[in-house]
Structure formats: C-alpha cells, structure tokens
Structure 1
Amino acid sequence: MNNEPLWGIFLNACLINNFVLAYFLGICPFLGVSGKVDTATKMGGAVTFVMLISAVCGYGIHSLLVFIDAPFLQLISYIVVIASTVQLVEMIIKKMSPSLFQALGIFLPLITTNCAILGLVLFQTNKGYDLLQSVFYALGAGAGFTIALLLMAGLREQMEFAEVPNVVKGTVLTLLIGGILSLTFMGFSGLNG
C-alpha cells in the first residue's frame, strides 16, 4: 500500500514524470497525431479513456492474479485488456465521428501498442497503488499525455507560419521541438520534493 496523497499522484503523473516528455513512452502518437490541435485533443481524450479503463482493470487483474498465485499472467492479461478497450474506443469513434476516425487513421489502432498505457498499468502495480490511487494515476498520466500532444500540436501549427530553413523542416524540426519540450518539463522535477 502506497501512502502518497491523491493530488501528489496526479501531479506526479501529469507534470513531474510525464509519460511522453520524461519517460518517453507513447512517442508514436506524440509525433504522428500532433499536427493539428483538434486531432491532438481527441487523441488525448481517447488515450486518457483507455488509460483509465486499463488502470481499473489492471488493478482488478493484479488483485485476482495475486489471490490465485499466478502473477506470471499479468503482462498477457494487461495486453488483452488494453487491446479490448482500444477496440471498444475504435468502434465508438467510428460510429460517433467518422471524420475523427479518418483523421486519427492508423494511430487509433496503434493505441493498442502504445507503451504508455502498458507502462501505466505496470507502474501502478509496482508502486502498490490502491484502486482510487490507480484512478488518479491514470487521470494524471492521461492529462499529461494530452498536455504533451497539445503543446506539440500548437507549436507545429505555429511553425507553419514561420520561415524555417529547409535543413530542419519536417521530422527534424518535430524532433527538435519534442526535445525542447522534454527539457522544459525537467523543470517540474523540483516539485517532487
């Protein structure tokens, strides 16, 4: 059992140990879907939802597997839950917003292999979080993921209006911006006490 306060867990996952900018997990959608703020917002919401469901299910699966003395099944169980949740999200988005479904393209099913989601479930298990702490950890990680996507998307939209040398256009510029964002988030490490 971990005695961290809920606000501390949320803040830690959101800013101090941001999954994208501190742990470098979830880089695929960070680089691929962050071209437009609108798309980044919706992708962040979808990833946050999958993180929340995965965290709750992961807590239950961990408790069950410890009870039946089968902790070696954790990883495969987590992957099944994540894949199932992503399929549910994909079906909902396809039905509710076909334009968003098209905009997210291949990155929507790639949430299944998003290492940030699997990392979330494994980290919460290793930290010994209870159910409520796991929910706050998932919400903080999802908020941090969304913040990273929005920052990158906003900067990329603004860079369309800037005169950028041909040498750094495209992927190089995106990686430079990502690196600078990562450095700026290192400043939050002082909040950890």
Structure 2
Amino acid sequence: MATDSLTFIFFNAFLANNFVLAMFLGLCPFLGVSGKLNTAVPMGLATSFVMLVSSVCAYFLNEVLVAFNIEYLRLISYIVVIASAVQLVEMTLKKLSPALFRSLGIYLPLITTNCAILGLALFQTFKEYNFMQSLAYALGAGAGFILALLLMAGLRERLDLAKLPSVTQGAALSLILGGLLSLAFMGFAGLGAE
C-alpha cells in the first residue's frame, strides 16, 4: 500500500500512530474523562470534531501563510482556530445538553490545550499533506482518539466491579491500564512498513 494513499494515512493515524496510545498526546482527557462510557463517547466526539475543524482550517491557513511568506505565524494561528472550534462545541453542548456539559466539566474547555489537536495541525503541515490527505489524517486521528477513550472507559467500568488491592485503585490503576493499552497498540507499529 502506498504511504501517501488515503487509506494508509487514515489507518496509520487510527492504529499504528494513534495519538493517545502511540504518541502519548491528549492524555489529560484520556485519563480524566474515561471513567465512564457515557462521558467518554461525547468527549471523544467533541475532540474529534475539533480535530476535523482544526485540520481543515490549518490546511487553508497554511496555504495563506505560505503565500504571504509569514509562516512564523503558523503556531499562533492554529491555536486561535482550535480555541474558536472549542468555543463552538462548548456553546453547542451547553445549549443542547446541559447535563452532558456539566458532566464533562473542566475537560471540555481543556480541549483547547489538548496537545493532540495542535499536534495534528502541525504534523499534517510538516508532512505536507494535500487537502484530502489532511482530511483522512484528521478522521483517522479522531477515530483513534475515540477508540482509545472507549477502550479505557470500558476497562475502567469493568474493573470498578472487580475486587482489587487498594494499592492499584484510582490513578495507579488508570496508569497501569493506559500502559497496557499502549503496549498493545505498539504491535500495530509495523503495519504498512515496506
């Protein structure tokens, strides 16, 4: 499979180079919101939406910045776009689902500082992806983010019912689970290698 094909780019971001489990970006919501599936799913969807909007805007912003030879404004421009997209998501959730808005708490505005989203915009720029490749990359990264949150939330909900030693409860258990999931995802690292 060609490394510049849309399928390869999608699955590379989804599995082999998962932003959370392989690159360790976006760990704050991964550890903080993945306690229950009913909060992990909306957070994953919100983050994926912001990733998609940021990716599209970053592509066009980069084209403008390159045209005017002001690439040094790239980082601050991407941050403004990400913050605006998060505001849109936050206002929409507050209006449509106040209970979900409250349950996500501080983690919803923290999407603005989620390094996975900024990393997505910067990586696609430095890899010089065209528009369709950027979309595939954003969709793969978003799907991978949702997958990571779902796996972690499912494991944590399941282990809430188990009898565990007190030393492995709470944050310790979350870190152990995250490490085991990361090890499992490292098996995908060879996918697509030539």
TM-score interval (norm. to shorter):
over 0.9
2:3 and 2:9 in contact (8 A); partners too = no
Deviations 1:57-100 (A, max 9, x none): 00001000000000000000000000000000000000011111
Report what 2:126 is aligned to.
Answer: 126
What displacement does 1:3 show? 6.5
Match of 1:157 in 2: 157
2:114 aligned with 1:114: yes
State the TM-score, normalized to the length of structure 1. 0.98
Identity %: 64
Amino acid at match of 1:191: L
Alpha-carbon distance in 1 for matches of 2:174, 2:72: 39
1:84 aligns with 84
SS of the residue corresponding to residue 139 of structure 2 reads: helix
Distance 2:11 2:19 in 1: 12
Query: Following TM superposition, where does structure 1 have runs of at least 4 consecutive aligned residues deviating by more than 2 angstroms?
Result: none
Q: Counterpart of 2:191 in 1: which secondary structure?
A: helix
Gaps of at least 5 residues in structure 2 are: none
Q: What's the counterpart of residue 63 of structure 1?
A: 63
CA RMSD of aligned residues (A): 1.0
Q: Which amino acid aligns with 1:192?
A: G
Unaligned runs of 5+ in 1: none
Aligned to 2:14: 14
For residue 26 of structure 1, what is the aligned residue in structure 2?
26
Q: Hey, what's the Cα distance between the residues in 2 that align with 1:33 and 1:138?
A: 21
Aligned to 2:136: 136
Residue 89 of structure 1 aligns to which amino acid in structure 2? V
- For residues 147 and 3 of structure 2, what CA distance do their matches in structure 1 show? 27
Residue 186 of structure 1: aligned partner: 186
